[in-house]
Amino acid sequence: MARPRGKIDVVCQNPKCRYYLNENGKDIIKSGRYKSTGHQRYYCYHCRSYFMETKGTPFYRKRLSEREIRNICKHLVDKNGIRSIERITGHHRDTIGTLLEDMAEYADQMNEYLTRKLGLSTSECSDLWRFVQARKRKLSVAAQEGLMKNV
């Protein structure tokens, strides 16, 4: 007799799937981990596609670990410049800039993450978004729209 499946809190991330972001009737299983990042990989039986647990978040397709991203966020909140963060963390300034742009695009989710995981106050988060807004001329249209919702 087969063992029953455990509860999976992830929904299908494929827009072509009829169960896209739908909790009812989903048929998703865990399907290993990505070696480079360690993120969980899932498989949807309905659309027969694989997806990562971080899809649709600022952490999607990032080779940085969550700990490294947290460290960069802490330095951003402390009002360090991108080049000084580059010297402190050892990551290239383009990597930090791309992370900053993705954070701006998903500003609502990042606020929740920063307050929950890093224990930041709302005033510290608004300081971070002011810093990002100072770089506004270099951000993509999607990132500017994400910032406008949050500022």
Closest by CA to 97, choosing from 145, 122, 62, 146, is 62
- pLDDT band (50, 70, 90) for residue 51: confident
Buried b (16+ CB within 10 A) or exposed e, 33-70: eeeebebbebbbebbeeebbbbeeebbeebebeeebbe
**87, pLDDT greater than 80:** yes
Lowest mean pLDDT among 10-14, 18-22, 121-125, 139-143: 139-143
- d(CA 147, CA 138) in angstroms, rounded, equals 13
Report residue 77's pLDDT band, with 50, 70 and 90 as the boundaries.
Answer: confident
**Predicted TM-score (pTM) above 0.85:** no
136 has a pLDDT exceeding 60: no
